[in-house]
């Protein structure tokens, strides 16, 4: 955010002789944009430690703004400015996104058997396509700035266009918002805005902040005694920057704790299982399948906590495919006593379709509340009612096959595909005075979809449970990135998040996004702990449950339309 000088100063500047700024060599500008984009990716989860670095996100994006705004060779016409901004924004975003989800290469090459050049090319192609949203935003912004170098609200326009680009990436073509800028602030004071605005709202505030810093950098000399025309003043920029950080801190420390309250009469004792089954062995009948059935079966049988949770497809077979008496033994185990279980596994049959599911068992049969009840998954006959949750947001190519892409799935040698889609808001499991809502794998990437369960406060979840299998991506920063995604959902919704994963990060996260306990990655282990459920609905959960992301779309579109219309009139 930044103050900008008004028309009088603009006219004075026009009447003053200003040296022409030097144009940076193209190779140097391109290299700097790539470096800034790569550092921006590192801010979401630093590759050598996994921590989120909020300050690096602001500095990297500010550097990106400064670089995108550099003089354009051949003149500063609006068309040239748009083309230059488009290419510069695309290059920054390409470096950012390639560095963010480079680990897709591991799943495609190491486990999918794709040739290295083909797997690498697929990652670059995906990043290149998603970068077009940011390229368009940068092009429009630079064209506006060239026409109005001293006009107010340039930073606000950048933030609005950035917000629209982030929303497009997160929504269009099923959405893939992995590594959105707001996640870098999960440990920073801007996370105070999460229960109000969500992760995209944090990204909007951060972009406005970074644009102010970037425009302030334009006052640095570029050669021949010249600098870029800038509306920002160092003092004003610092005042607004510190004010933004201060407001976030006040929300985080003083306001947000009162948005929710403790639910239930005592904490829930939980066991989260991490089987660490290598992905290349996971579906081998005499390898990972046998190990999984033996180890998870033993741990489930010995469980003594209120709730035990196993990861996504931890049991990698349909219930009817399991060895004789295995499923019946599990049903008998949880039909009595004081323990309940949530089991990640596929479910269904050829007639009803298959689903990536979570199956629940509890003494006396499960009870549920709220949500949209859908057709029951085809499970083996049971004497007591069982709970089932079917994954709603499916992964393209892994869980459903886009039209015309069967060849890609065949090349990846994926054993699962074309699952049935569950309802958006499904029933909550009632257990020990808690309302427990599962989500599977990267479903927790879509906060607006999790918020759909908060439309009726009296039946909203009190505890969220994520079951995942990130083994597809090896021992990479994907594990740390996914942990931060779950933490952001906990802050947005004011709910604790239990994470049971195959290889990591298996963790207990409280309602403020703090990791209370976590298992070491790539180890076979059980995490014992307690979790306090929460009642109450955050502002983000309230409006997202009713309107989805529409308020943010409107914010971005209205600001962009009002300011860009001035460019057309000019």
Q: Which residues are catalytic?
A: 312, 391, 441
Contacts of 231 (CB under 8 A, 6+ apart): 2, 3, 4, 5, 149, 150, 151, 152, 154, 215
According to DSSP, residue 350 is labeled T
Provide Rg for the chain, Cα atoms.
25
Q: Which long-range contacts (CB under 8 A, 24 or more apart) does 429-432 make?
A: 429/340, 429/342, 429/360, 429/362, 429/366, 429/367, 429/368, 429/387, 430/366, 430/367, 430/368, 430/369, 431/306, 431/307, 431/340, 431/362, 431/366, 431/367, 432/264, 432/268, 432/306, 432/307, 432/340
Q: Are 195 and 491 in contact (CB under 8 A)?
A: yes
Of 503, 497, 548, 496, the residue nearest 523 (C-alpha): 503
Contacts of 105 (CB under 8 A, 6+ apart): 119, 120, 123
In order of 231, 332, 333, the CA distances from 328 in angstroms are 71, 6, 8
Query: How far is the C-alpha of 217 from the C-alpha of 363, rounded, in Å?
Result: 64
Of 166, 163, 187, the residue nearest 490 (C-alpha): 187
């Amino acid at each position: 955010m930044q103050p900008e000088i008004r028309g009088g100063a603009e006219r004075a500047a026009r009447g003053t002789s200003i040296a022409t700024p030097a144009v940076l060599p193209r190779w140097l500008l391109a290299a700097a944009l790539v470096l800034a984009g790569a550092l921006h990716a590192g801010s979401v989860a630093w590759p050598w430690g996994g921590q989120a670095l909020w300050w690096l996100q602001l500095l990297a994006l500010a550097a990106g703004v400064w670089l995108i705004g550099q003089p354009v060779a051949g003149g500063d016409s609006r068309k040239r400015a748009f083309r230059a901004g488009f290419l510069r924004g695309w290059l920054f975003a390409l470096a950012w996104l390639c560095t963010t989800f480079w680990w897709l290469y591991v799943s495609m090459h190491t486990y999918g058997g794709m040739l290295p050049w083909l797997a690498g090319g697929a990652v670059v192609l995906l990043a290149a396509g998603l970068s077009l949203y940011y390229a368009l935003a940068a092009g429009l912004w630079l064209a506006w700035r060239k026409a109005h170098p001293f006009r107010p609200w340039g930073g606000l326009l950048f933030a609005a266009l950035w917000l629209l680009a982030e929303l497009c990436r997160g929504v269009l073509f099923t959405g893939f918002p992995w590594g959105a800028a707001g996640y870098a602030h999960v440990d920073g004071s801007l996370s105070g805005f999460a229960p109000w605005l969500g992760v995209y709202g944090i990204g909007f505030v951060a972009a406005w902040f970074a644009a102010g810093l970037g425009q302030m950098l334009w006052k640095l000399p570029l050669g021949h005694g010249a600098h870029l025309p800038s509306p920002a003043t160092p003092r004003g920029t610092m005042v607004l920057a510190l004010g933004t950080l201060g407001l976030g801190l006040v929300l985080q420390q003083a306001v947000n704790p009162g948005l929710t309250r403790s639910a239930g009469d005592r904490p829930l004792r939980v066991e989260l299982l991490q089987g660490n089954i290598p992905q290349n062995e996971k579906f081998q009948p005499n390898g990972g399948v046998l190990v999984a059935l033996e180890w998870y079966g033993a741990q489930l049988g010995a469980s003594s906590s209120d709730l035990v949770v196993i990861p996504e497809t931890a049991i990698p077979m349909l219930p009817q495919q399991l060895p004789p008496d295995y499923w019946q033994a599990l049903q008998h185990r949880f039909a009595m006593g004081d323990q309940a279980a949530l089991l990640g596994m596929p479910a269904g049959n050829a007639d009803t379709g298959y689903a990536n599911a979570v199956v629940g068992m509890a003494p006396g049969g499960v009870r549920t509340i709220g949500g949209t009840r859908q057709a029951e998954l085809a499970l083996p006959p049971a004497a007591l009612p069982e709970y089932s949750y079917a994954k709603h947001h499916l992964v393209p190519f892994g869980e459903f096959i886009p039209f015309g892409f069967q060849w890609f799935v065949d090349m990846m040698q994926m054993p699962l595909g074309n699952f049935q889609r569950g309802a958006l808001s499904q029933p909550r499991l009632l257990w020990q005075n808690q309302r427990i809502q599962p989500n599977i794998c990267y479903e927790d990437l879509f906060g607006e979809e999790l918020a759909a369960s908060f439309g009726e406060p009296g039946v909203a979840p009190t505890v969220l449970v994520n079951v995942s299998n990130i083994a597809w991506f090896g021992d990479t920063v994907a594990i740390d990135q996914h942990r931060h995604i779950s933490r952001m959902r906990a802050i947005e919704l004011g709910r604790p998040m239990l994470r049971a994963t195959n290889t990591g990060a298996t963790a207990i996260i409280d309602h403020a996004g703090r990791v209370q306990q976590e298992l070491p990655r790539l180890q076979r282990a059980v995490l014992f702990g307690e979790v306090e459920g929460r009642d109450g609905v955050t502002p983000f959960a309230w409006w997202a449950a009713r309107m989805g992301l529409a308020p943010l779309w409107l914010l971005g579109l209205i600001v962009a339309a009002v300011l860009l219309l001035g460019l057309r009139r000019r």
